[in-house]
Amino acid sequence: MAATDDTAAPLAPAHERGAPAALVLAAAAAGGLSVMSVELAAVRLLAPWFGTSQTVWTNVIGVVLLALATGYLLGARLAQGPAPARRLGWLLTASAVAVAFLPHGTSALGAALVPAELTLEQIAGLVQLGSLGAALALFLVPATLLGAAGPLAVESLQRRRGGHAGTAGGHVLAASTTASLVGAFGTSHVALPYLGLVGTFAASAGLLAAGGLLLLLRTGSNRAAAWAALVTPLSVGGALLAEAAPTRLAEGRRLLEQVESPYQRVLAVEEGEGENLRRFLQVNEGADSFQSVWQPNPGLLGEGFYYDDFALPAHWSALEDPAPRTWRVAVLGLGAGTAWRVIEGASPAGFELFGLGAEIDPAVVELGRRWFDLAPPGDPRRVVLDGVDGRLLLRLAGADFDLVIVDAYANQHQLPPHLVTAEFFAEVRERLAPGGWVALNLGCFDLDDPLLPAVGETLAHAFQSPVLALAVPLARNAVLFARRDGPLPDPTAAPDGLEPGPLRARLEKARLPGAHRVIAVPRAAPLRDGFGPLEPLERASLAYGRRRGGP
């Protein structure tokens, strides 16, 4: 009997040797890069319908992992037959078609699952199961095909080179994982910002189709290669012709501009004419919510807009000391600058605004400057820092502020967890001047909403003083106020010190039962950096809103 060893010549037919090892590794790299690109872009694809909460991320990642596991088993079975490199070529070509279809399929499925007439609380009820169903329907097939590519690449390489199967597997894993790393950074920092969401899927489809075509050509499959050559431009072109999601506008609103940022889809829309003209900034699922509001003249916006409450601390401070001063205001979650415009037009006489604002999304700042009169670069009285997290900005800010506004949200109802913890609120307190205020916008349905006491008690614990919560009339919001080294106003007292006007009328309404709540200092903070069950609280809030029937 002839001796055998791991270096024996491969038992592949001659046409298998036509797929060079480098090409097989390149094909594995194309699959690895595309898996990561599709996974990262998948959440953005679902965002206009379901947002980008941790629940959505979990559902997408879970579906992709399930698909990859299924694909590995499928690939292991396919690798047992003849011509694994040719099968790998077919597999990459099929996955290119599936990836190219994703933008088309998402628009149709999203429109069916989330009709445009639904309100935010109704949409939120669909997030958990709806996003899971959408992820299964859209991403299970392409991710399964991409997962099957790995075993086929290993088998092709091992037959080509001979030697240890572990050596072939290690080389394939190294190539695909390195490409996945490139896909992770490239998708977030290059593809999404510069190619857009649809272009990102088109690029992935083109890469996969090209890899499949080259493999089919080198394995002598001329007829198959001809089909792949036809599929390649059709896949890329079909993806580019798709719309990531139709723009859903409320009745009477007009689209001014829409951009796809590295973080989200951002829209500037307007409604009304003349003095009644208003512009709104919306992100992702939109629904009936907005992130910023603009009107022709700075000042109060009227009932239904929580921004007006941000003007109250200046008037409360003026009742204690009416002397002219610079009113230093930091806004974490600046958006398009609505808070500044409201305070600027509604401050007490002699109060001059200095603003420092943090906005994580540069695209929001760009739209703010084009459509919302946000301060231009270099304005010494309105300093805008984009691409900077609010907590980081607060740590780096040197000024002692008279007011810190926390108005940071991801999508419509998702609070950034690190901006509602006891440690964060302690940092806010340290950045306040004596007698300074913090005002926090909290999306909730009334003062009995289960989310409110968790955030309010956390704030009270950090400040070691009570927190005043005012329900915003005709809105799904409450504004929470805390103060450093100073008393809070009595919500039951008549606002006699204020001149007649909208703010005085606002405080008169706040005296009514159910319109205000004072939150005492608890023994322990419910939300901390190391433990913050925020998403369950937000789901409980939305369930409460559905039972309650909206604002």
**Exposed / middle / buried, residue 502 (Cβ in 10 Å: 0-12, 13-18, 19+):** middle
Task: Give per-residue pLDDT as tens, 11-58.
Answer: 444 334 457 889 999 999 999 999 999 988 888 788 766 767 677 888
At 193 the pLDDT is: 73
* pLDDT exceeds 90 at position 158: no
Residue 26 CB coordination number (10 Å): 18
User: For residues 404 and 432, what is the distance between their CA atoms, to the nearest angstrom?
Assistant: 7
At 247 the pLDDT is: 61
User: For residues 542 and 259, what is the distance between their CA atoms, to the nearest angstrom?
Assistant: 28
At 245 the pLDDT is: 52
**Exposed / middle / buried, residue 141 (Cβ in 10 Å: 0-12, 13-18, 19+):** buried
CA-wise closest residue to 360 among 330, 395, 392: 392
What's the average model confidence in pLDDT over 175-187?
92
Chain mean pLDDT for the chain: 84
What's the average model confidence in pLDDT over 82-96?
89
* Residue 14 near residue 372, CB atoms below 8 Å: no
DSSP state of 487: P
Backbone angles phi, psi at 532, to 5 degrees: -150, 90
Q: Which residues contact 154 (CB under 8 A, 6 or more apart)?
A: 79, 165, 168, 169, 172
What's the average model confidence in pLDDT over 220-225?
64
Higher pLDDT, 149 or 541: 149
Mean pLDDT check: name the lowest of 67-76, 92-101, 193-202.
193-202
* pLDDT exceeds 60 at position 246: no
The pair of structure tokens assigned to 251 is 């009745």
At 338 the pLDDT is: 96
What's the average model confidence in pLDDT over 240-265?
72
At 15 the pLDDT is: 39
CATH 3.40.50.150 maps onto the chain at 299-548
Residue 350 CB coordination number (10 Å): 11
User: For residues 365 and 194, what is the distance between their CA atoms, to the nearest angstrom?
Assistant: 17
CATH 1.20.1250 maps onto the chain at 14-240
Length of the chain: 551
Task: Report the topology of domain 14-240.
Answer: Growth Hormone; Chain: A; (1.20.1250)
Cα–Cα–Cα angle for 247, 252, 256, rounded to 5 degrees: 50
Q: Which residues face 279 on adjacent strands?
A: 270, 294
User: For residues 331 and 520, what is the distance between their CA atoms, to the nearest angstrom?
Assistant: 25
Mean pLDDT check: name the lowest of 34-48, 446-460, 508-522.
34-48
User: For residues 549 and 158, what is the distance between their CA atoms, to the nearest angstrom?
Assistant: 63
Q: Which CATH number fits domain 299-548: 3.90.180.10, 3.40.190.170, 3.40.1740.10, 3.40.50.150?
A: 3.40.50.150
Supply the Cα-derived Rg of the chain in whole angstroms: 28
The pair of structure tokens assigned to 433 is 């001047």
At 159 the pLDDT is: 86
* pLDDT exceeds 60 at position 120: no
Higher pLDDT, 189 or 220: 189
Residue 397 CB coordination number (10 Å): 17
- Label residue 381 by pLDDT band (50, 70, 90): very high
H or E element that contains 259: strand 254-260
* pLDDT exceeds 90 at position 453: yes
Greatest Cα pair distance, the chain, in angstroms, is 107
Mean pLDDT check: name the lowest of 26-35, 116-125, 166-175, 233-242.
116-125
What's the average model confidence in pLDDT over 468-489?
94
CA distances (Å), origin 390, targets 3, 359, 414, 459: 69, 7, 15, 17
Tell me which amino acid residue 78 is. L
At 7 the pLDDT is: 41
**Exposed / middle / buried, residue 430 (Cβ in 10 Å: 0-12, 13-18, 19+):** exposed
* pLDDT exceeds 80 at position 396: no
User: For residues 125 and 541, what is the distance between their CA atoms, to the nearest angstrom?
Assistant: 11
Q: For 272, left (φ over 0), alpha (ψ -120 to 50), or beta?
A: left
At 8 the pLDDT is: 39
Task: Give per-residue pLDDT as tens, 274-318.
Answer: 888 999 998 865 555 778 999 999 999 998 899 999 999 999 999
Mean pLDDT check: name the lowest of 45-59, 254-268, 348-362.
45-59
* Residue 473 near residue 447, CB atoms below 8 Å: no
At 2 the pLDDT is: 43
Question: What is the pTM for the complete model shown?
Answer: 0.76
DSSP state of 478: E
Ranges assigned E (strand) in 263-392: 265-271, 278-283, 292-294, 325-332, 351-359, 382-386
Backbone angles phi, psi at 273, to 5 degrees: -140, 160
Per-residue buried b or exposed e for 149-173, using 16+ beta carbons within 10 Å of the residue's own CB: bbbbbbbbbbbbbbeeeeebbebbe
At 119 the pLDDT is: 54
User: For residues 100 and 376, what is the distance between their CA atoms, to the nearest angstrom?
Assistant: 40
* pLDDT exceeds 80 at position 118: no
